[in-house]
Structure 1
């Protein structure tokens, strides 16, 4: 009886050994394929760094920093000293920050409000409005500035219409070419950049929590501030920081609607390079602005990662 069962045990042992060998070979093949993919990815990254990022991003940035450190006798921080010691610099930075916080703050509030309206109070045509806002971000910013001029400028259609309607001696609207027009144009242009992240954040909400809060007697504003905002704040914060980042680097609207007395950091850099022909000073200002932009971008990435982690 034992002699008859021995071959079966031997065959089972051989089959198990063959299966182990096959699994080991499969694991080795997968490991080798993974190593090949990693090497290919490294070569692709090296190609991008050398042939694309190098000449288009890294080299210009390195040249910019070196130019800001160039003096009459070699490397020097004279350009930075002149930039920060210039009595006009504080005014330029103050104007830049004032426009930044006013424009980006109002644009963020408007964007979150529009997103909440489109998501929680949908109306006929809400989907079309959402698609238009998504398309709006592809428009150049100076186009918004010219559109506002054609509508609300002193010779715009709305201003002329009001003048004729009320028989006024002069056009009643004359505010665009200055800080009011710049803030209005930037709010109109950058609010849609907040709508999309806010909508995406609202879409991840558990509606059962909102319904539970309402069933317990919470009114609309309480639900908004006690339930919706604490849950949706990472997406809203990411959109708001992105709005601040883009507004900080805005140039087209400032060139169209900014007056001679409204000098921001981008305009000052442009003026130093093209009017004063002081390239080291322009480079120093550009490096300072780059540091501000990278700081905002780092904050944006941090909030975005936290949002992704919370979504999981």
Structure 2
């Protein structure tokens, strides 16, 4: 028989794990994990970091947008009504502005895609002096305001611009032949000029990822340049074309400065209609209705682009 002192000595020494997790015993339901406090602290820290930008976005964007939507349902007589929407949708000016906005946006996007793809091909694959400087200039061009490009076109093709000045100086005529800037074609030219670099930038980034060895191998096997572009370059450029084209389309739908600075008479887009309703006519409910329609179209196009790109795996 062991002595009492030996038994007391053995009982003071820990002989096994001190928690059910260490013994493998089942843990009672509802027992919190050992690291629960640390995980909660990390989640709280992440929430505190995310909260300030969410609050800023809500105050700077969501709240003003909510006020615009609210005003669109509030006629001048007070109360809540759909009368502003019915009046705006029934007006000829709104339908004309919507059609003008859509065809200008589609035409500008198509022109930017074609011109941007050709120029990006030349810069990326045709060696010429100053190609890197041109690529850097495109990055700088993206920071220019749209009205600056329009003013440049006015200095060249305006009524008192360089082209008309050269014409009148050479022929002795009292007026030059260039007056297209005040027409929808002038707005189309200005938008294509300004928005083409927004297509070229993602294309140049996509072209920089193409293995030139494949192009050289295809050329050595006798493939013509058009076939190389169609079979090798264009498939790699399609995601960049889709991204740049969707961006240009949305920006053209909301462009205001180019249309205003060209002074094109009879060219009224949805942003110009918002300006005329709010500033010139002081019809704020109608202006908010047009603004809501413009926002819905832009967000809808963005949603379509996201859905198509997700299905295509882009």
Shorter chain as denominator, the TM-score bin is: 0.7 to 0.9
Distance in structure 2 (CA, Å) of the matches to 1:35 and 1:212? 57
- Show the counterpart of 1:60: 64
How far is 1:226 from its partner?
A: 2.1
- Show the counterpart of 2:73: 69
- SS at 2:124 equivalent: helix
- Show the counterpart of 2:237: 232
- Show the counterpart of 1:16: none
Matched length: 284
Q: Kindly indicate whether the alpha-carbon contact (under 8 Å) linking 2:182 and 2:264 is maintained by their aligned counterparts in 1.
A: yes
How far is 1:184 from its partner?
A: 1.2
Question: Does the C-alpha gap of structure 1 residues 97 and 35 become closer, same or farther in structure 2, counting only changes over 3 Å?
Answer: same
How far is 1:167 from its partner?
A: 3.2
- SS at 1:187 equivalent: helix
Distance in structure 1 (CA, Å) of the matches to 2:217 and 2:37? 53
- Show the counterpart of 1:93: 98
The answer to whether 1:181 aligns with 2:176 is no
Distance in structure 2 (CA, Å) of the matches to 1:283 and 1:156? 37
Provide Cα deviations, 1:195-223, integer angstroms capped at 9, x if missing partner.
Answer: 10111111222334434433443211112
Aligned mate of 1:152, from 149, 157, 170: 157
Distance in structure 1 (CA, Å) of the matches to 2:259 and 2:87? 24
Provide Cα deviations, 1:130-165, integer angstroms capped at 9, x if missing partner.
Answer: 111111111111111111111211211232023212
Contiguous gaps of at least 5 residues in structure 2: 1-21, 23-33
How far is 1:53 from its partner?
A: 1.1
What TM-score, normalized to structure 2?
0.82
- Show the counterpart of 1:3: none
How far is 1:186 from its partner?
A: 0.8
Question: Does the C-alpha gap of structure 1 residues 34 and 105 become closer, same or farther in structure 2, counting only changes over 3 Å?
Answer: farther
What TM-score, normalized to structure 1?
0.82
5 Å-filtered alignment, 1:1-312, equals 36-50=41-55, 52-71=56-75, 72-301=77-306
Question: Does the C-alpha gap of structure 1 residues 253 and 105 become closer, same or farther in structure 2, counting only changes over 3 Å?
Answer: same
Provide Cα deviations, 1:5-43, integer angstroms capped at 9, x if missing partner.
Answer: xxxxxxxxxxxxxxxx9xxxxxx77x8766544322222
How far is 1:301 from its partner?
A: 4.4
Q: Kindly indicate whether the alpha-carbon contact (under 8 Å) linking 1:201 and 1:232 is maintained by their aligned counterparts in 2.
A: yes
How far is 1:302 from its partner?
A: 5.0
- The structure number with the bigger radius of gyration is 2
Provide Cα deviations, 1:76-101, integer angstroms capped at 9, x if missing partner.
Answer: 22111112111232211111112111
How far is 1:174 from its partner?
A: 1.8
Q: Kindly indicate whether the alpha-carbon contact (under 8 Å) linking 2:187 and 2:264 is maintained by their aligned counterparts in 1.
A: no
How far is 1:305 from its partner?
A: 6.3
Question: Does the C-alpha gap of structure 1 residues 235 and 297 become closer, same or farther in structure 2, counting only changes over 3 Å?
Answer: same
Distance in structure 2 (CA, Å) of the matches to 1:227 and 1:179? 37
Provide Cα deviations, 1:91-125, integer angstroms capped at 9, x if missing partner.
Answer: 11111112111222112211111111111113110
Q: Kindly indicate whether the alpha-carbon contact (under 8 Å) linking 1:152 and 1:158 is maintained by their aligned counterparts in 2.
A: yes
Distance in structure 1 (CA, Å) of the matches to 2:164 and 2:221? 50
> More helix per residue: 1 or 2?
1
Q: Kindly indicate whether the alpha-carbon contact (under 8 Å) linking 1:179 and 1:258 is maintained by their aligned counterparts in 2.
A: no
How far is 1:169 from its partner?
A: 3.4
| Cα RMSD (Å) | 2.6
